[in-house]
Amino acid sequence: MFSEDRKTRSMQIENNTVVAFHYTLTEVGGDYTEDSRQGEPLYYLHGHRGILPGLEDAMLGRQSGDQFSVTIEPELGYGLRNESGMQRVPVKHLIGRQKPRVGEIVSVNTPRGEVRATVVKLGKFNVDIDTNHPLAGKTLKFDVEILEVREATMEEVAHRHAHGPNTPHH
């Protein structure tokens, strides 16, 4: 009989498994880098698109202890840039911040609700924003270390996301 640790270690990633992993993300040909190893691992429920589609696809069939690298094209990452995402809005539509800086991420009040955007240009009464994700249109490289794979609970499947150690259960 396997111990619980042994069962968890040998389980392969498939739909409705919870995966904990660390990653380093770099923009191919760019200077953006992000590393999760400075904090808690990321937990996600496989098969429910809780992470980028290209990364989730690369996780399938792997198991705890695996380390790998994957390059993800924009279509399977944050998508292609949408030029209609560039807009000029009145400063009064910004939520919480009346004097933003160029490059800052702000929240904008729209008829569809709150939208996050990057400030591109400032004017006296208006601000030019970009609603594209900052990594839209970029090719990304992930270096991944899988720490844990386990079966999802019925509650996690019902909620369509993983409940990690620091995730509130609702």
Q: Residues 96-145: pLDDT tens digits? A: 866 889 999 999 988 888 999 999 999 999 999 999 999 999 999 999 99
CATH architecture of 83-130: Beta Barrel (2.40)
CA 53/CA 67 separation, integer angstroms: 18
Region 43-52: mean pLDDT is: 96
Residue 93 has pLDDT above 60, yes or no: yes
Range(s) of the chain covered by CATH 2.40.10.330: 83-130
Amino acid at 94: L
CA–CA separation, 45 vs 48, rounded Å? 6
- In single-letter form, the type of residue at position 17 comes to T
C-alpha atoms less than 13 angstroms from C-alpha of 148 in its C-beta half-sphere: 16
Amino acid, res. 81: R
- Determine contact, residues 117/130, Cβ cutoff 8 Å: yes
Distance CA(88)–CA(126), nearest Å, equals 6
CA distance 19 to 8: 10
**CATH class, 4-78+136-159 region:** alpha beta
What stretch(es) of the chain map to CATH 3.10.50.40? 4-78+136-159
Return the DSSP state at 45. E
